[in-house]
Amino acid sequence: MNLPAFPVFPGSLPDAFRRGWALRNVRALDPATGEDAVRDLFSDGRVLVDAPPAGAPEFDASGCLAMPAAIDLHVHFREPGGEEAETVASGLAAAARGGFGQVVAMPNTVPPIDTPESVFDQRALASLAPERRVRYAVAGCCTEGRAGRKPAPAAELAGAGAVALSDDGAMVEDDGVMREVMREAAWLELPVMDHAVRAAIAAGGVVRDVPFARERGLRLFPDEAETAAVERDLALARETGAWLHLQHLSAARSVRLVAEARAAGLQALSCEATPHHLLLAAEEIPGDDASWKMNPPLGTRADREALRRGVLDGTVDCFATDHAPHPAAAKARGFASAPFGCLGMETALAATWQAMVVESGMRPVDWAARWTKGPAAVLRRPAPSLAPGAEARVAVLRTGPWTPLAGDLASRSRNCPFLGRELPLRVAALLA
């Protein structure tokens, strides 16, 4: 029987998929079992292996990869307060297009998510969004108003459904306040996700010390802004027993600090690397293009190499995008004064595959683990799987060159440094 090749479904799935689906000859990557094998994969809502469900659409998926739907622990959806850049609905559409079945949104909206009511409001926004395949969770603030002075009501935030605590966008600078936050988080078994950057040391730095920065007279970002924060956080994690999740590491020394802390026995510890810190470097900034301005700024090539080694040896257990949409007008202000951040979700799987599998020789199933098993562990969830009987929530990727263009994006924003750059695969569908 000649089956149709699996196509690209950038938007929602045809209704026929409600009956299930059948993929023949797909390369299945299952981090939960370590499987990397070409086989048939069927679903009636659960993964089947013997036969496809009756009437389900059936495809030849040769040349495609299947993996459990990815989990992004770090996104910014800007609603309320920044709907021009992204809404919960547009963010969830972008997540689905990127192959994500679950995202965790950061609470630095305006106003921030620091009360149980604001957590409920977020859940209501997600329930009204047309995109139903992506599970939406939020982190609640560490401190009231993200002001860093008084802990937010963590137990109430958790009770309303917050899955983590974070003041992302800024760290909790005051050691005493962070100690209180982490003690409560330990009691509640909530991970504390920290944007580990000491503002006083960063001193407004927007870029690492590379020739481009000096030519333009831009303020420089010293590694110590990040590493001093990482050291403080690790000390408080040891003291309080809270699960510490370090966000978007960018400096070689930060990776070393995490590895040393683990070797010394600190187990309640995880960290993430972003697609941009893994694929790009400060020396490669193409000019005054603020899509390349992130917080923390891109590391040097040496930092990127250390970050990649950390991913390979397991020190870095999660990828996460830090998807940070901004209106075009704000990013047009240039490197010195544009806001920090770039889009991530829709190019994330392709960019990290390029950085880690193509350029660093990572085993594909280990790469998939950083998008599934690693983030699931932070959320205290079992690793998603493609094994028989598992919930069938699957990202299908088509291998081959793909050059993402602005028109491909479901996000409301366009500040993405990967636009126009050839990547080695694309997400064909989120089957969930």
Binding site for Zn ion (CB under 5 A): 168, 195
CB-nearer residue toward Zn ion: 97 or 245: 245
Q: Are 296 and 197 in contact (CB under 8 A)?
A: yes
Q: Note every long-range contact of 280-288, with CB atoms under 8 Å and residues 24 or more positions apart, other chains counting.
A: 280/304, 280/417, 282/207, 282/208, 282/210, 282/212, 282/213, 283/210, 283/211, 283/212, 285/207, 285/210, 285/212, 287/212, 288/216, 288/334, 288/335
Catalytic site includes residue 322: yes
CB-nearer residue toward Zn ion: 168 or 317: 168
User: Shortest Cβ distance from residue 235 to Zn ion (Å)?
Assistant: 20
Q: Note every long-range contact of 183-186, with CB atoms under 8 Å and residues 24 or more positions apart, other chains counting.
A: 183/240, 183/242, 184/151, 184/154, 184/155, 185/154, 185/240, 185/242, 185/243, 186/240, 186/241, 186/242, 186/243
3-state SS of 357-409 is HHCCCCCHHHHHHHHCHHHHHHCCCCCCCCCCCCECCEEEEEEEEECCCHHHC
User: Shortest Cβ distance from residue 345 to Zn ion (Å)?
Assistant: 15
Q: Are 388 and 47 in contact (CB under 8 A)?
A: yes
CB-nearer residue toward Zn ion: 48 or 170: 170
CB-nearer residue toward Zn ion: 22 or 343: 343
CA angle 133, 321, 249 (to 5 degrees): 145
Q: Residue 339 burial (CB < 10 Å; 0-12/13-18/19+)?
A: middle
Q: Return the structure tokens found at 353.
A: 């595959």
Which of 175, 322, 366, 408 is catalytic? The answer is 322
User: Shortest Cβ distance from residue 122 to Zn ion (Å)?
Assistant: 18
Say how many Å lie between the first and final Cα of the chain, rounded.
26
Q: Return the structure tokens found at 300.
A: 């040097």
In this chain, which residue has its C-beta nearest to Zn ion? Answer: 195
CB-nearer residue toward Zn ion: 17 or 340: 340
User: Shortest Cβ distance from residue 193 to Zn ion (Å)?
Assistant: 9
CB-nearer residue toward Zn ion: 20 or 341: 341
Q: Which residues contact 37 (CB under 8 A, 6 or more apart)?
A: 27, 28
Return the bridge partners of 319, or none.
273
User: Shortest Cβ distance from residue 322 to Zn ion (Å)?
Assistant: 6
CB-nearer residue toward Zn ion: 92 or 170: 170
User: Shortest Cβ distance from residue 123 to Zn ion (Å)?
Assistant: 23
User: Shortest Cβ distance from residue 195 to Zn ion (Å)?
Assistant: 3
Residues known to be catalytic: 322
